[in-house]
Amino acid sequence: MKSLERIAPEVGWLPISFVNTYFIGRPGEPWALVDAGLPGSASQIFEIAQARFGAGSRPEAIYLTHGHFDHRGAALSLANKWNVPIYAHRMEIPYLTGRSAYPPPDPTVGGAMAFLSRFLPSGGCDLGGRVRELPAGDLPGLDGWGWMETPGHSPGHVSYCRPSDRVLIAGDAFATMDMDSWMGMISAKQRLAPAGRPFNCDWEATRRSVHQLADLRPNVVGCGHGIPMGGRDLPDRVQQFADRFAPPPRGRYVETPARVDESGVVALPPAPFDPVPLVTAGALLLAGMALGSGLIEKQLRD
């Protein structure tokens, strides 16, 4: 069984495949889970929680940075098991209660994650009565923490920060690995980079969110993807990253964002032409023709 890695006082990090989840609190005291990994990871998260906080312990709540499939994955299973609420920003609620699908990903922005986005789940889900709107004041189980709106990657994306020591959980506002490079994804080498570019539905909002987070001057950053980062120079590195941050040169949401409101998606810019499905279909057709030709020749010889 994996064990938690401590990235800051009372903050444990657990990577599950390519996505991270965070356990905040200390044994014997109220604690909380931030993000819930991939679908099917409930038992792993539960076992880690029991090992960390004690048999029979449960969090005060599960907090989501946003509701994409790789962050909400085990949330409902765990919330039912623990009998706790799932908190998310009000602008995420339509996608977590079955009222709307998320804006579709844009594979034309290019890069490794963009290619993979064609095969990843991108819709919403229904967490039923477990999901609640994030409170404006105290956060149960997150004593000393606050949250801030950091939309762009999703309509209601939020980040969580502990001001006392400037620990930041940034979700997918940005990443600490290069998700646009196959080598970057395989090696998980630490690097400040955009997170999940094909899923960003408002690039200007994403840019503003990155600058807001840089203004916090974080000493420790835990993102949804990549190994958490710290160090004396981190505040300056995050600021430099924010100053250089720019949208991709092309893409569905680069010039025109998805229009959303509290009911979900209102309007979408037109989908750009994506040549990959046609190329893939053509390659499969040619392979099928070649295979068929070979079979025919074999039958004629026989």
| Residue among 45, 91, 65, 89 nearest 223 (CA) | 65
- For position 3, what pLDDT does the model report? 76
State the Cα angle at 68 between 239 and 155, rounded to 5°: 60
Give the largest Cα separation in the chain, rounded. Answer: 80
Cβ neighbors of 109 (< 8 A, separation 6 or more) are: 197, 198, 248, 250, 251, 252, 254
DSSP helix/strand/coil, 102:
coil
- Backbone φ and ψ for 264, nearest 5 degrees, come out as 125, -150
What pTM did the predictor assign?
A: 0.90
Helix (H) or strand (E) holding 242: helix 234-244
- For position 1, what pLDDT does the model report? 60
What is the chain's alpha carbon radius of gyration, rounded to the nearest angstrom? 21
d(CA 201, CA 10): 33
Query: What is the rounded end-to-end Cα distance, in angstroms, of the chain?
Result: 57
- For position 255, what pLDDT does the model report? 94
- For position 202, what pLDDT does the model report? 98
Alpha helices (runs of H) in 73-215, residue ranges in sequence order: 75-82, 93-96, 112-117, 182-187, 203-215
Within 10 Å of residue 45's Cβ, how many Cβ atoms?
A: 25
- For position 302, what pLDDT does the model report? 52
Angle between helices 234-244 and 203-215 (to 10 degrees): 160
DSSP helix/strand/coil, 97:
strand
- For position 277, what pLDDT does the model report? 64
- For position 222, what pLDDT does the model report? 98
DSSP helix/strand/coil, 286:
helix
Which mean pLDDT values do the consecutive 10-residue runs of the chain (302 residues) have? Answer: 87 96 96 97 96 95 97 98 98 97 95 94 92 94 97 98 98 97 94 96 98 98 98 97 96 96 97 72 38 44 50
**Which tokens go with 267?**
């309007």
d(CA 239, CA 104): 30
Q: Strands (DSSP E) along the chain, which ranges? A: 5-8, 11-16, 19-24, 32-34, 62-63, 86-88, 131-133, 146-149, 158-162, 167-171, 220-223, 229-230, 259-261, 264-267
